[in-house]
Every structure is written in C-alpha cells, then in structure tokens.
Chains A and B, each alone.
Chain A
Amino acid sequence: MLKLENVSFQVLADDDKEKEIIRGVNLHLPAGKLVVITGPNGGGKSTLAKLIAGIESPTGGRLFFRGEDITEKSITERARLGIGYAFQHPVRFKGIRVPDLIRIAAGKPLSPADACEYLSAVGLCARDYIDREVNASLSGGELKRIEIATLLARKPALSVFDEPEAGIDLWSFQNLITVFQHMRDTIEDSSILIISHQERILNIADEIIVLKDGRVDRRGSRDEILPTLLGTAAAIPGCGRIQPMEGGGAQC
C-alpha cells in the first residue's frame, strides 16, 4: 500500500543550522492493516504524516503508494490517488457548512441521509449540524469529529489520522475505535495509519512503529511492542471517567 524509502526531512532552525526532523525512514505499510505510530513528542510523527499526505516535501528519499512513486505528487494528486489525512488541529471555515464539507469530501452530491450517516457515525446528531458552519462556533471536540467524518465520507484507500483522540474527551475512545474498525471492515483493502500515544488505540493496532529522534526506533506486532511501551509517555492510559456509548453511534 505505502512504502517509504530512506525518507528524510530537514528544516532550517532558528540558528540557521539544518535540523533533521526525519532521518532516513524506511517503512512498509501493507494493505488491510491498522498501524499506529507512537513515540515521544518531537520525534517526528506529525511530520511523517504530513510527508505522506504531501503537505511537506521530503528533502531525501522516495515515497510509493500502491507501487507508484508519489514523491513529486501534490496534495491534490495524492488525495485523488486515495490518500486521506485528518488534521491534528482541524481547520475552521467561515461560511462553509458542515454538510458542505462532507459533500466536498465525498466528491459527489450527498443526500441528507448520507450526510447524516457520516455524522452519526462520529457521534453527532446530524440534524443539529445541517445548518451549522464549520466555524468558531463549534467546539474543538465537534470539529475533531467532523474532521473524522470527512474521511469516512471520502473512503480513502489509506487514511492517516494525526492524533485523532485529542479533544474528543466528551465522546469516548471506544466510539472512536469503533469508527476505525468500521472503516477497516467497510473499505476494501484499506489501511489506516494513526499517530497516537493512547494505549487504547495502540491496543487495536496490527502493528506499532515507535518513532524517536526522526528514526524508526523499533517496530513490530502489537504483542511485541506494546508491553515495552506501557508505563511510558508513548502509551498513555485513556481517561476512565467517560463511559462508551453502545454501538458508538449518536443518540438523538
């Protein structure tokens, strides 16, 4: 599905010296897998996600998606090839309504029932959001869930989520996990790449990659890697206060 060959990314730091954020990363993400990238803050996780989506361009190495070299391809081209990307900090738009954004994501006209399906999958009561703009009137948690709904509508072959759990505390991890599992089940051969520290998300990974200082520190199956992370900052237990809802859907 996705292959990274010796990918590097350097930036010019404040002291005018080159700083290497990603250092020669090699990675292979097979089809149909859910892979979680974890590791300490500043280790390069979000940068790696942006390199995959085309938001940043690597200073070295090549990227391949379904066998095609996508290193020089733009964000738009990668999106059209089937790469989806959910922002860590979702963007606000004055005037663009929630269903408009879902429709743009789907790339085709949507019936209210279709838009409703994607919104209720992320625990939002669709009728409350039909006329809402994706603007500052929405809470961080609502924006985060709408962001995830845009990927559900898009149905990409590869979905990249950058810290999807951040800000969704009023919903629940369990529902989020239901969404990921549902995506895996319904989009054929799709792969999901999640950047996360959360133990509950690490728990559903087929494979875990630990990124540290811009390098792959270690990688392997969940059973191999997760025990080595427990108790470290790379695996934070979920908040126990929130009870998951049955089935993960919205109740309205």
Chain B
Amino acid sequence: MLKLDEIQKRLLREVADLHTVPEGAYNIRSNSQSAGRQSTANIEITPKTDVSGLDIRIKPGTKNESVHIPVVMTESGLKEIVYNDFYIGDDADVVIVAGCGIDNCGTADSQHDGIHRFFVGKNAHIKYVEKHYGSGDGAGKRILNPVTEVYQEEGSSMEMEMVQIKGVDDTERVTTAELAADARLVVRERLMTHGEQRAISTYAVALNGKNATADVVSRSVARDHSYQKFDAKIAGNAPCRGHTECDSIIMDEGRILAVPGLEANDRDAMLVHEAAIGKIAGDQLIKLMTLGLTEQEAEEQIINGFLQ
C-alpha cells in the first residue's frame, strides 16, 4: 500500500510523471523503503538479498508493457547505493521509467547512487527514461551519482532519455555500453545546472559488432556559477557508425568542458563528433523581443526550446 506525503507525491510527478499508481510493473522507493511494488505476468520485480536493489526480469517477447522504478528521498542526510539489474528477454519491447527526486530541507547532504545494469536480449527494444530532480531549501546538498551499464545483444535497440533540469547540486554520471552486431543505441541527454552546481557526465560506448550504431547527443545549459563536463567516447571495434554531439548554452559565470572522443579500431568504423558551446545569440533575444517578450521571457523561451 502506498503511503506518500505531498512532497513525495510532487517528487514522483517531477521524475516519473506519475499522478497515481502506474499501470504495469513498478517499484516505488521512498526514503530507502519500498512504498509499493507490483510484478506482472511478464515482468518480475524481486528485491536483491545481498545488497539494496532489485532484479527486474522481463520475459522474452513481452510487448507494450512498462516498468516504473522511481526513487524519492525527503529525509535529510540519507545516503544510499542501490543496485538494479534489468534482464530483458529476446524480442521484448518495453518502456522503463526510472528517476530520482530528492527534497532536502535539512543541513546534511542527501545522496542516491543508482547502479543500473541492462542486459538487453536479441532484437529487444527498450526505451529508458531517467529524470533527476532536486528541491528543498536546506543547506544540505542533493547528490546523485548514477552509473548505467548497458550490454546489448545482436539486433537490440536501446533509447535512453536522461534529463536533469533542476535542483541537483552534484552529479557524476557514468554510462557505459557494449553493442553486438546490428545493435543500436540512442542517447538524448538534457541538462541544466544553476547556482553552484556541478555535473559531470561520462559516456564510453564500445561498438563491437558489425553494423552497430550509436548516437549520443547532449544538450545543456550552464547558468550562474555552475560547472559541467561532458566526456563522450565512442570506440569503433568493427564496421559500425558512431556519432556524438555536445551542444551547450553558457550563461552568467558558468563553465563547460566538452571532451568528445573517438577511437577507431576498424578500418570500416565511421565515427563523427560535434561539440559547440556558446552564449544565447543576441539576435535570438532581439527577435523574440520584437514579438513582445521581455529579455528575460525571451531567454526562458530559448532555453526551454533548446532543452525540449
């Protein structure tokens, strides 16, 4: 039975768009406890016995089902490491929604480190959405350090949407992926940092099989005194195609380091990287101001569009 207060419900809406108990399989983790869990005929969620975390097993051929595993934290000073393993059967086609919201009104740091491993079976298709959000006006930091490991078998495809728009003070995100033949990985990262926040995002993708493809794109905005580092490396170990792109808007006293990396270990590996950092163009602001927006409204429209 779910027992969540209003703050926890708000966090759930922010990170998983959940207004009520989700359909399908879910586990809602609240202040290190399970606040509700449900398996389905095709998706089994079981708690790990050795460490904190879950095993999520999706039967081969499961179609049009979803798994929600949001995490909310409202107790100041809570620190946890959670290990979630996803075993996705061949030919499955499912949506997985994760995400973590921390509300910290206290003085101690709150920290959630989620270690997610995905074992994606042959020809399976996964859409994975992970949103991070922080709120609360305490001096304690809201810290999230997600580690995501993806192992894709032949012909599988994984689309990852990683979003962190507000309120997370410190993040070190590490994502690694290994792709077999004909596997496809698409990553869309959207990030905004403000205040004194720091966000580091590292990707290491290995294209090991013939015709494997990866497309890793980050769009970010660094405001105030925040710092971002985007470090994306794609290694082509077979005839494959890889593309990485970092596109950033820098504002105020923000700082951004983009480190795109390509490594070709096969003559038929085709790898491309793009990186661009710049402030909001003056003529963009002027155009929207000639349409009646104030400078601040114009700035918000430009950033919202950019991070959409």
Contact = CB atoms under 8 A, between A and B. Distances in A.
A84 B308 contact: no
Contact of B293 (A76, A90, A91, A94): A76
Interface in A87-106: 87, 90-91, 93-97, 100, 104-105
A95 B308 contact: yes
Contacts of A53: 290
A78 to B, nearest CB: 8
A189 B301 CA distance: 31
Interface size class of B (residues with CB under 8 A): 20 to 34
Contacts of B294: 76
Interface stretch (B76-84, B197-205, B281-289): B281-289
B221 to A, nearest CB: 11
Contacts of A91: 281, 283-284, 286-287
Interface size class of A (residues with CB under 8 A): 20 to 34
Nearest to A74: B289
A93 B308 CA distance: 12
A154 B308 contact: no
B302 A80 contact: no
Contact of A104 (B291, B295, B307): B291
Contacts of B290: 53, 55, 75, 79, 84-85
Given A55-B286, A75-B286, A87-B283, A96 B301 contact: yes
A112 interface: no
Contacts of A76: 289, 292-295
Interface string A102-131: 001101000000000000000000000000
Interface of A: 53, 55, 74-76, 79-80, 84-85, 87, 90-91, 93-97, 100, 104-105, 107, 133, 150, 154
Interface of B: 219, 247, 281, 283-284, 286-295, 301-302, 304-308
21 contacts: A75-B289, A76-B293, A79-B289, A79-B290, A79-B291, A79-B292, A80-B292, A84-B290, A87-B283, A91-B281, A91-B283, A91-B286, A91-B287, A93-B305, A94-B305, A95-B304, A95-B307, A97-B305, A104-B291, A133-B305, A150-B291
